[in-house]
Structure 1
C-alpha cells in the first residue's frame, strides 16, 4: 500500500516523536512519502530511510502547488494520512480534487489550542469538510471535539507510543531519602505553567533543608524568563535548567534520577495523554503526575503513580508525602510490564493496521458515524497477512554500512524508452532494494518510460528552481546526474555552493559528446574544456567503458569508475539456428535517431533479401516520423524498393526480450555509442550481434568472430552486407557466436555491476563530511590545472540562470 503523510509542521521536529516514530513504523511495512514544511535546525530526527518532500509555507490560495500535485500523481497514493494542523481542511479539499480515488484519514494528536475568532473559524472549516474523510484516528476522543464540535464520525482511539527498546530501567535501585533527584521534561511554554511547577517544588525543597533537587530538560519561549526567575529568587541550588538533550542521551540518563514529574496543566491538556509519564515509567522511575483525566485513565489500567493538583500547594504536599512513601520496586516492575503495551510496534499491530485495513476494504467512502458524541472503540482483529514484511533482498546490505539518501537526475525519463533512462531507473531500483533511499528526478513530460519495481521516490519537475529548492531541503548524501549534453553545467549548478556531493555519468562516448551533443558556440575544444571544468567538481564519475577514462586529464582520473551496464540473465533464450519452416528475423532496436544509421541497415538488407527470401527485418522503437529527414529517407527507400512486406516497423514494447528471443540476428548500425544496452540485451539471450568496427562502445562489447561480427567501415553498406551474409547463410556460425555471447554476458552480472555502483556512491558521499577534500586531492596531482578549472567553474556558475 502507498501512503502519503501530510504534516503541518517540519518533519522530525523536536518534541514530536508521536509523529516521526509513528511514520517510521509505517515505513517498515508500506511504501510511504512524507510531505511537510522544510526541516529546520530544531528537527532532530535523522532517519535517512524516510522519503521526504518539502512543502513551502501553507497558503490558502496555493496550499497544494503544481509541482507537489505532479509528485503525488507520480506516487499514486492509496491513502492520505493527515496530522492535525490549522489548515488541514484546505489541504484535504485540494487532495480530494486531484486524487479523488485515494482514501483519507485525519489523525488528531493534540487538542486545538487557538482561542476566540481564530478558534471559531478553524472549527467551522473543520466541521464543514470532516464528513468527506474516510476516518479519524486520535489519542483522545475529546481532542477531536476541540477541532470538530459535534463530530459525527466515530474516531479510532489508540494509545500514546514509545520505543521500549531504548530504555534500560533499573528495578532494584536504592533511593537516598531525602536527597532525591527529581526530573521534569517538557516544552518551556507559558501554557505549561512551568513557574507554578517551580514554586511548588521549591516550597517542598525548603521544607526539607533544600536537599531535594529538580532538573528541568527542554526549551521554549519561556527559557530566558525562567533563567531570570531562578536567578532572581536565588534557587539555583534547587532548580537547574538543563536545556535540550538528544533523545538517546535523555533516555540513558533517566534511570539515574529517583522520581519523574509528569506536570500537565489540567485546564488545557486534561484529556491529552502524557508521553513523559510513559517514558518515566519505561525508565523505571516512580512518578508524580497531575490529576488530568488522561493520567487517571492510566491509573485505571493498573499503573501505579502518585497524583497531585496543578497548583503549588498540592504539588508541595504530594512531594512531601512522597518522602514517607515506601517505594516498592515490585510496583516499579509492574509498571514496566504494563508499559510494553505502549510500544510503537504493538500499537501499530493491534490498533492502527486493523483500523486502516477496515477503511481500505470498505465498499464506500462513508466512515462509521453516530448521532451523539458518545464514542465507541471499534477494534478489529489484526491479520498478519496485511503487513508487508521486509524483502529478503534487504539482507544483502552489510550491517556496518550506513544507508544512503540518493537523488538521481534522469531528465528524459518521461520522454521515451532511452537506454540511459533505463539504466538510471534500474540503478535507483537496485539501490532501493539494497536498503538505500533513492529519488529519481525527471522533467515532467508525462508518464515515465520505466516503472520502478521498488519504493523509488519519483520527483517530476517543471521548474529547475523548485527542483533546486527540493534538493537542498531533502539534503541527499549524493546528487547524481545522467547527462548527454551541455545541460550538465546547469545540473551541476543545482548543488553548487552546498555540501551535497555531485556525481555524474556520461550517457554517450566522449568524442560524440564533445563533437555533436555539447553544442558550444566555440566548437569542440571549448566543449572539452567546459566538460573538464564541471567534471573537476564531481566527486565520482561513471563512464560506461574503460577506454573512455583517458578522455579526462590525470587529476580527474582517480575519481573515474569505468564499467559497462549490467546484462540481466533471462529465463527465455534465443535460438539463432531457427528452423526451415519459420521465417527468420534480423532485429534492430531503437534505431530511429540519425546516429543510429538505420538507412544503412535497410540498404544492406535490400541487397540480400532476394537471396534470402525467408528472412525479414524487424525494427523496434518509436514509430518513424516522416517529418524528420533521416526518417523520410528510410520510409522512402522501403516503399520505393518494395520492402513493405519484408521490413516490419513496430512501436515501443514492454517486453523487448521476447523480441530478442524470437530473432536470429541482432544488428546495431550506430555510428557511435556509449555502452550500447541493446548489445548487452542480445548477449543475455544468446543472440549474436553485428556492429561497425569503428563504433565506440559497440566495438568493446562485440569481439569479432568470437561473440559477434564487426563490419568494415570503408563502405558501410557493403561492409554490413558482407557480415549479414555470413550469418544469414550459416546456422552454425550463428549458433557458435550466440553461445559465446551468452557466456560473455556473465561477466556483466548485475550483482557485480551494482556492487561497483554502490561503492562509487559510498565513496562519493564521503565528501559531504569534507567538501574541500576533492580540491586538495586534485592539487596534489596537477596544481595549476586544478586551480584553473576551479576558477573557471566559478565563472561558469556566475553566468547560469535557472
Structure 2
C-alpha cells in the first residue's frame, strides 16, 4: 500500500510529534508499505530522528514553513503539492495536526486521495493556545477527513457529535525500556535528580516547575532539578534561575539530547508541568523507565498515564506552584514510595506496546482506502 504522511516542518525538529511521525513511517516501511513523507521544509532539511532510507521525503521547498504565506505563494505551493502527490500516487494521506491536514486536503482536492486528520493533542488545546475562530475552522475542516485519530478515546467527548463517528483511538507506542531507573538511590555524586523533559515553551510550562522547586529547595538540599529540552523560553528560564538564590546551582538546562534514555535512568523522579498534552511522550517514556512521575490532574493526557498513588502523584488543579510543590514533596521525601511507584510505572506502560499501537495505525490507514 502507498501511504503519505504530511507535516508542516521536520527540519531538525526534536518534538514528540516529529518522533511519532518518524516511528510510524519507519514501521510501515518495515512492514512492506511504500511510504513517503511530505513537508514544507527547504531542500537541505534533515530529520532529527533517524529516518528509514526506504521512506521517500518530498520537500516543498517554497518559502518559509514557519511564516504565513500570501496568495501567490499558496498558489505556487498548491501546484507543486499536486505534482508531487501525483508523482508518488499515494492511496491515503495522513496530515499530522490540523494545519497540515487542511493544507493537504485543499491542495489535493479532486485527486481522489482520502486524507486522515492525525490529531496530536487534546481538544483542551483551545482553552490555552488558540482562539474560538481557529477552533471553529479546525472542527469544520474535520468534516472532510476520512478519519480523525486521537490518542485517548475519552478525547472523543471534546468533539461535536457530527465528528465523533470519525474518531479512532491511536495511542502512541511506548517501547519497553532496556534499562530502568533506581528512584530510591542517589546518583554517583550522592545527589537526587528531579527530571523534566520537553520543549522550552508555553505549553510545557516550566516556569511553574521552577516556582515549585524554589519552594522545595531548602527542604530538600540534596535534590537538583534538570530540565532537558530546547526552545524559545530558554532565556527567560535561565534568568529565573540566575536571579533566585534557591535555584542557582541547583537547576540545570542542558538542552536537547539524542540519548534521552540516559536522562531517565539517571533520575529519581519525573515531573511534567504542562498546561495541555495529547499523549505526553516524555511522561510515558519516564514511566516506562521506572520513574515515578508527577503532573497536574487537569492537564489532558497526564491523568491518563499517571495512576495517582500507584505510578505517581497528581497535583490538584492547574498551573499552581503550591499544589505542584505539595505533590512533589511526597515522593521526594519517601525513597520507598518512589521505588514502589517506579515498579508499578513499568507495568502500567505495557498496555502501549509498540506492535499493538502500530497495528492500530496500519488498520486506520488501510481502512481509509475505498475498496
Structure 2 length as normaliser, TM-score? 0.89
Match of 2:113 among 472, 476, 500: 500
- Mapping of 1:261-280 within 5 angstroms? none
Match of 1:450 among 34, 49, 55: 49
Name the structure 1 match of 2:68: none
Q: Aligned pair in 2 of structure 1 residues 714, 527: CA closer, same or farther (>3 Å)?
A: closer
Q: Give deviations 1:102-154, integer Å, cap 9, x for gaps.
A: xxxxxxxxxxxxxxxxxxxxxxxxxxxxxxxxxxxxxxxxxxxxxxxxxxxxx
Structure 1 residue 479 and structure 2 residue 93: aligned?
yes
Name the structure 2 match of 1:148: none
Name the structure 2 match of 1:690: 294
Q: Which runs of 5 or more structure 1 residues have no equivalent in the other structure?
A: 1-403, 518-522, 770-802
Q: Which runs of 5 or more structure 2 residues have no equivalent in the other structure?
A: 63-76
CA contact (8 A) 2:286 2:293 kept: yes
Name the structure 1 match of 2:279: 675
SS in 1 for 2:58: strand
CA contact (8 A) 1:708 1:737 kept: yes
Structure 1 length as normaliser, TM-score? 0.42
Name the structure 2 match of 1:411: 8
Name the structure 2 match of 1:584: 192
- Mapping of 1:606-755 within 5 angstroms? 606-622=214-230, 625=232, 631-642=234-245, 643-713=247-317, 716-755=320-359
Which one has the largest radius of gyration?
1
Name the structure 2 match of 1:12: none
Structure 1 residue 468 and structure 2 residue 82: aligned?
yes
CA contact (8 A) 1:699 1:710 kept: yes
Structure 1 residue 490 and structure 2 residue 103: aligned?
yes
Match of 1:594 among 202, 218, 234: 202
CA contact (8 A) 2:298 2:318 kept: no
SS in 2 for 1:503: strand
Name the structure 2 match of 1:760: 364
SS in 1 for 2:368: helix
- Mapping of 1:141-156 within 5 angstroms? none
Q: Please state how far the C-alpha of 1:723 moved relative to its aligned partner.
A: 1.2
> Which has the higher relative contact order, 1 or 2, with Cα contacts under 8 A spaced 6 or more apart?
2
SS in 2 for 1:612: coil
Q: Distance in 2 between matches of 1:450 and 1:615?
A: 32
What do you get for the CA RMSD once the two structures are aligned? 1.9
CA contact (8 A) 1:566 1:680 kept: no
CA contact (8 A) 2:101 2:115 kept: no
Q: Please state how far the C-alpha of 1:500 moved relative to its aligned partner.
A: 0.5
Q: Distance in 1 between matches of 2:149 and 2:281?
A: 16
Structure 1 residue 571 and structure 2 residue 178: aligned?
yes
Q: Please state how far the C-alpha of 1:557 moved relative to its aligned partner.
A: 2.2
Q: How many residues align structurally? A: 352
- Mapping of 1:760-779 within 5 angstroms? 760-765=364-369, 767=370, 769=371
Name the structure 2 match of 1:536: 143
SS in 2 for 1:596: coil
Q: Please state how far the C-alpha of 1:644 moved relative to its aligned partner.
A: 3.1
